[in-house]
Structure 1
Amino acid sequence: MDSEDSDKVQIGENKFVSKSILLSQLSTYNLYYKGEALQLRHREEEGELIIEGLLNVFWGVQRPIRLQMQDEKEAGRPRPSLTSLSSETDIDTYNEAATTDDQSKDFGDGEKEEEEADEEQQEPTHSDRLARARSDVGGRRISGRRLGIRRLKRHRCSFNGHFYNHKTAVFTPKFGSVTNVRVNSCMTTTQVMRVLLNKFKIENSPDEFSLYIVHTSGERHQLKPNDHPLALRVLKGPCEQVSKMFLMETDQVEEVTHDVAQYIKFELPVLQSFIAKLQEEEEREMQKVKKRYADIRRIIKKYMQNLAD
């Protein structure tokens, strides 16, 4: 019995799969992503197979989600200033810019002085002006705009290239855009979602979301809280042209079974004919049920009449 249990890998609540099947699928998965970061590693601990690596999750939320106003690491960090940029390269840049500006100004002042004094004083030499300009730089405040330097702002403007409004702390991910999280095959759906929400510091409750496996056919299945998303992703295969794992709101999305998914890809006239056929079939089934219960009532009433007699 123990040997049979050791050959099984749990992929959900009361759901198991053979270890050999999972390893075979993992080999195909890694071959598909050969040389890429999405390749998965595996190991065994006390006879338990553990797969770990990056899991792609696609954004499928329909409402904006809330983020923290400021990162915890940035809360106590001082704002940058020009005085903190004290590398030799920056100082040389400041000196060159200030020197050029002061040289032109001092040259104009020298000409005015010569005209007022009727050329009593000679024009200062280039070395004198350069020395005076360098001495003035230390006591003069140099603006960032003058030097083409912009002050750094600590507002996060985007995540994965999507707009983030730092004033309202609202994040609006584009539907179908992808992110990834590092997880292992022992982590449940709830744990994977917590890792994803913590990665982007999302303040919404994890209970608002769920993971869904969405097929290109339109079939959509919600993962149960105790399912193991990474193991299920490996079993579904690596190709995201066939199926993807989405993060969606639980109250905004319905599951779509295979029977329904095979119809929703058709054009409107075809779908209308399907609905008409379904209504006809429904009517026939209703008539059968009504006839069945009518026969039962008739038999019971007949028996009751016989008892009364």
Structure 2
Amino acid sequence: MIDPERPIAITMGDPSGIGPEIVAKAMLDGQIRRRCIVVGDPRVMEHAFSQINTTVRINTIRDINAARLADGSVNLIASSSLDVLPPVGAVDPASGKAGFDAITAAIDFALAGTVAAIVTAPIHKEALAAAGVCHPGHTEILAERAGASRVAMLLANADIRTVLVTIHCSLLEAIRRVEFDAELSAIRLAHRGARALGIEAPRIAVAGLNPHAGEGGLFGDEEIAIIAPAIEAARREGIDASGPWPGDTVFMQARHGRFDVVVAQYHDQGLIPVKYLGLEKGVNITLGLPFVRTSPDHGTAFDIAGRGIADPASLKTAIDYALRLADAAPEQER
């Protein structure tokens, strides 16, 4: 079990999106308040709490040691200090910078061992770029700051789990990045991630890159030259990996119980099946980091930001996963 004095850190996300609202709504749950702290901008988060008409107390601190986890307060660590509230529902450099500051602060807490895990609310890639941040998303920020050489996204809901070989890049670049080491790394991380979720002997299906998994080389030879050899290497390590399977049917088979995790070759191949089943229960887990990180499986939703209708269900699911993975981490490391 995780140390009750090491809370879960929840970052506020992009202040112009729904992140602050769903964080505030999630923190209305007393059990979550006792296990979690919020990392973000005090002005932004105080406004978010005021918009949901709550009387919960906010304990704004700059040091985790000052957190009061037992008295029902929302503990808020100030990672930035905005002079004015950013615009709602629009790309804004100040929002991008404030969201980035919350992420880096939470990472530093995790690396120092003062929090048990990180849960990140959504950020906006254009806002990051406008703020001068060179990384396209959370995964790349986390990997660089944590010094992780190989990371992967695991997207999960009640029906499907998928791990991506390539993440945030053009489709043309994703095809270029499909190479042996990346394949084998993704398969290994899928195996480790599934075991961390309590699956003792994970069955890993690897999707092909090309239509019909290449059809024996008729539609491309990446399956023969790269993907199949990586699967065989993983099997020699004792991993129950199979494929390459056609990408248009492998997720259906996983949903019907044949496989525990699908390794997808590129972003949309893996995310469309998961998100089609519903955003409210999807969660994103970053594999390969020296700490646990999860996030909801949706974006900043600028179109509904500020309207008070954002659903915190996916964020609460991400918090549940973070608690579960943090509890399991010591056992998985042995």
When the two structures are superposed, what TM-score results if normalisation uses the length of structure 2? 0.24
Give the greater-gyration-radius structure (CA): 1
